[in-house]
Amino acid sequence: AGAMVVNADLRRERAAATFQPELLTHILDGGAERTRRRKEIEALVINDPDFQHEDLNFLSRSQRYEQAIRKSSLMVMKLREYGIADPDEIFWFKSFVHRGRPQPLDLHLGMFLPTLLTQATPEQQDRFFMPAWNLEIIGTYAQTEMGHGTHIRGLETTATYDPATQEFILNSPTVTSIKWWPGGLGKTSNHAIVLAQLYTQGQCKGLHAFIVPIRQMGTHEPLPGITVGDIGPKFGYDEMDNGYLKMDNFRIPRENMLMKYAQVEPDGTYVKPLSDKLTYGTMVFIRALIVGDSAHSLSRACTIAIRYSAVRHQSELKPGEPEPQILDYQTQQYKLFPLLATAYAFHFVGAYIKGTYHCISGDISEGDLSELPELHALTAGLKAFTSWTANAGIEECRMACGGHGYSRCSGIPDIYVTFTPSCTYEGENTVMMLQTARFLVKSYTQVSSGQQVTGMVSYLNDLCRQRIQPQHVAARTTTVRINDPASLVDAYKARAARLVEAAAKNLQAEQDHRRSKEDAWNRTSVDLVRASEAHCHYVVVKLFTAKLSEISNAAVRAVLTELCLLYALYGISKNTGDFLQAGILTDAQVTQVNQRVKELLAIIRPNAVALVDSFDFHDVTLGSVLGRYDGNIYENMFEWAKKSPLNKTEVHESFHKHLKPMQAKL
């Protein structure tokens, strides 16, 4: 390979770094060996000519779908050919093939197959699993309906058992009951796991899952009684055929209900499942993935914005001097560095949840569900907290790239549209925050009645002690040390405790006004969401701080400590109201915090490029002209633009069709 000429600004930036980016990469990957393996798989995909294609920005939606299908088919075959079976390695492989974008087989691989494994009986697995594994059956998971999303109990699709024929009759009785949004449903799948209200012996037994064939094997035409199609263009997700599905008296055999837990016997007798908490496990897992994706997507956006800001020169700082790198402007650092710190923070949170999930999932398979409620409550809130923050952060990165950020060649619009739906799917964020709040209020109530609580909410125990010694809160004021992460964790803890207490008290007051419980809950929900946010914020600061002590390399620890401080102090400066009102910080301390944030910006500045290099995104994965590793942006923007579909001909056809006739007439 020819020597890559790296832009001089970036060379200088990299030379000035105080730490070795590779070491930090290893920490992010979870070890040097994992970094090596990740890069090995990356090379396998990126150097494979089968996975090359034209820049997706220039393709129509239909073409992008086609490319995605082509690559997915190859991917499945190659994964087996290479014998890659470890879930993390499959995830890497898939991300490299699809460059972080969704693909039509996501639901087949991520939901259909796992659901068969966890909810099908051995007999059902015999029938469905191998055909699905061999892609004779391509399935999706059809839960959401046009009229119902997060509140799944409200789903309207019905499955009525007919003992005479031993079949279920599936119906979409209203427009709102049409299945809407499932990925891969529109054009790709020939089967779907459909969630429907089960009716047997005249009674509704709630939601259950059914395997429903939707397209004819061989011809791929929709089966009689099935109306299926694509829901049309969206904000992103061009390569995904999110679909609709309408069923009219569509019959499936009794054996197609997933019956590992609940069952319908041939005569229609319904047998209840043992526990309904089991489905929590999958939800927790997927939410953990979203936390990781928040970190990943924000890291990509930060990489692009920070490299671009090191290469872009604009305006003047000192009269008469050359134009400075825009990364030297305080306002630019203030936009980007807190986001960089956030990306690191979320990365460690994601790793923590994943680790905890794996610990707990061992217990779950042994029937011990005791730790599930807290983890479920915690991941709900963290999913919302991290995805909201990352969503806004990606947009800030784009805006920080000025006009060029708006061009699709920057790659940030694509990151944004691919990421933003995660604020809504797998549980709408506000609803998630309220789930966490419910757990927090419950814990608070336990503490109030004299019980101790454990885990991440154990700080609520302190509230009791404070009531005994009221001077404690006042004494806390001067004890916050703004350069000590541990002390900042305490400050966040105090804020969370105060907001949880305030929300719980307001809730109680509303209930005392003789309102119904639900009404009171609704009238307190803004407070409750704030409490959840504060709790999640505390958890993030705590986990980031905890991570620091695990890092052995002094240079890396130093720079991560600076980022951790920035994350914590910036969070305070953006929420000073909470800290002031609770008496956790004084006016003077808030002023110090604001000042310290700006000092940290200057301290982090020399390492900014190395810190994004540590994320170790290959240019192909990054998919950005502005964020190229070599920083040669302008010539490559020009090359990119020449490929635009509008440039296919020198004179556009609309000249002959519209412009010329007009000029002749006027």
Partner 1 sequence: RVNPDIASERQTASFCVETLTAVLDGGVERTRSRRAVVEAIESDPVFSRENQYFQSQNERYEAAVRKAVHLQKKMREMGWSEDGPEYKYIYRALAGDVAFLLHRIFVRSISMLGSDKQVAKWIPLATQYQLIGSYGQTELGHGTYLQGLETTAVFDVTTQEFILNTPKISAMKWWPGDMGRSATHTVAFAQLYIHGQCYGVHPFIVQIRSLRDHSLCPGVTAGDIGPKMSFEHTDNGYLLLQNVRVPRENMLSKFCEVQPDGTYVRLGSQQINYFTMTAVRISLISDEVIIPLMKACTIAVRYSVVRRQSKLKPGEEEAKILDYQTQQEKLLPQLAAAYAFHFISDYLQELFDKSYTEIQRKNFNTLPELHAFSSGFKALVTQYCTSAVEICLRACGGHGYSLLSGLPSLYTKILASCIYEGENTILLLQTARFLTKCFSAAHAGQPVPPSVMYLAAGKPGTCPARNKLDFLRPDIYTEAYQHTAVRLISSTAAKLQDLIQSGVQEHDAWNQCTVQLAQAAKAHCHYITVKNFAETVEKLETKAGIQKIMKHLCDLFALHGIFSNSGVFLHDGYISGAQMDMVTASYLDLLAIVRKDAVPLVDAFDFTDKSLNSALGSYDGQVYQRLYEWAQKSPTNTQMSPAYERYLKPLLHNSLSKL
The set of catalytic residues is: 426
How far, in whole angstroms, is CA 419 from its chain's centroid?
7
The yes or no reply on residue 220 touching partner 1 (CB under 8 A) is: yes
State which of residues 34, 39, 205, 408 lies at the interface with partner 1 (CB under 8 A). 408
Exposed, middle or buried, 471 (CB in 10 Å: 0-12/13-18/19+)?
Answer: exposed
The yes or no reply on residue 526 touching partner 1 (CB under 8 A) is: yes
Interaction with partner 1 in 624-653: which residues (CB under 8 A)? 634-635, 637-638, 640-647, 650-653
Residue 608: φ, ψ to 5°: -60, -50
State which of residues 35, 160, 575, 621 lies at the interface with partner 1 (CB under 8 A). 575
- Spatial separation of the C-alpha atoms in residues 663 and 666, rounded to whole Å: 5
Contact yes or no for 357/299 (Cβ under 8 A): no
The yes or no reply on residue 512 touching partner 1 (CB under 8 A) is: no
Is residue 427 annotated as involved in ligand binding?
Answer: no
Tell me the closest approach of the beta carbon of residue 274 to partner 1, in angstroms.
25
State which of residues 513, 519, 549, 619 lies at the interface with partner 1 (CB under 8 A). 519
Tell me the closest approach of the beta carbon of residue 176 to partner 1, in angstroms.
5
The yes or no reply on residue 129 touching partner 1 (CB under 8 A) is: no
Minimum CB distance to partner 1 smaller for 15 or for 664 = 664
Question: Could you please report the per-residue DSSP string of 330-373?
Answer: HHHHHHHHHHHHHHHHHHHHHHHHHHHHHHHHHHHHTT--TTHH
- Spatial separation of the C-alpha atoms in residues 298 and 343, rounded to whole Å: 6
Tell me the closest approach of the beta carbon of residue 521 to partner 1, in angstroms.
9
The yes or no reply on residue 230 touching partner 1 (CB under 8 A) is: yes
Pairing of strands 191-200, 158-162: parallel
Buried b (16+ CB within 10 A) or exposed e, 611-623: bbbbbbbeeebbb
Name all contacts of 38-46 with Cβ < 8 Å and 24+ positions apart: 38/92, 39/616, 41/84, 41/89, 41/92, 41/93, 41/96, 42/92, 42/96, 42/618, 42/621, 44/82, 44/93, 45/93, 45/96, 45/97, 46/96, 46/618, 46/620
Count of C-beta atoms within a 10 Å radius of residue 343 = 28
- Spatial separation of the C-alpha atoms in residues 202 and 210, rounded to whole Å: 19
The yes or no reply on residue 395 touching partner 1 (CB under 8 A) is: yes
The yes or no reply on residue 4 touching partner 1 (CB under 8 A) is: no
Q: Could you tell me the CA-to-CA distances from 193 to 205, 226, 252 in Å, in that order? A: 18, 14, 12
The yes or no reply on residue 81 touching partner 1 (CB under 8 A) is: no
# residues contacting partner 1 (CB under 8 A): 134
The yes or no reply on residue 405 touching partner 1 (CB under 8 A) is: yes
State which of residues 58, 129, 280, 285 lies at the interface with partner 1 (CB under 8 A). 58
Interaction with partner 1 in 310-349: which residues (CB under 8 A)? 312-319, 323, 328-331, 334-335
The yes or no reply on residue 121 touching partner 1 (CB under 8 A) is: no
Tell me the closest approach of the beta carbon of residue 620 to partner 1, in angstroms.
18
Tell me the closest approach of the beta carbon of residue 51 to partner 1, in angstroms.
14
Tell me the closest approach of the beta carbon of residue 131 to partner 1, in angstroms.
7
State which of residues 18, 52, 62, 479 lies at the interface with partner 1 (CB under 8 A). 62
The yes or no reply on residue 509 touching partner 1 (CB under 8 A) is: no
State which of residues 181, 308, 459, 544 lies at the interface with partner 1 (CB under 8 A). 181
The yes or no reply on residue 590 touching partner 1 (CB under 8 A) is: yes
Residue with tokens 């939606």: 61
Residue 181: φ, ψ to 5°: 100, -25
- Spatial separation of the C-alpha atoms in residues 238 and 98, rounded to whole Å: 12
Minimum CB distance to partner 1 smaller for 211 or for 364 = 211
Minimum CB distance to partner 1 smaller for 278 or for 580 = 580
**Stretch of 85-93, 264-272, 552-560, 656-664 contacting partner 1, by CB under 8 A:** 656-664
| Cβ-proximal residues to 57 (8 Å cutoff; 6+ apart), any chain | 408, 409, 414
Structural tokens at position 206: 């709630």
State which of residues 235, 275, 358, 549 lies at the interface with partner 1 (CB under 8 A). 235
Is residue 411 annotated as involved in ligand binding?
Answer: no
State which of residues 36, 53, 80, 151 lies at the interface with partner 1 (CB under 8 A). 151
Interaction with partner 1 in 434-493: which residues (CB under 8 A)? 434
Q: Which residues are annotated as a binding site?
A: 144, 183
Q: Which residues are annotated as a binding site for FAD?
A: 144, 183
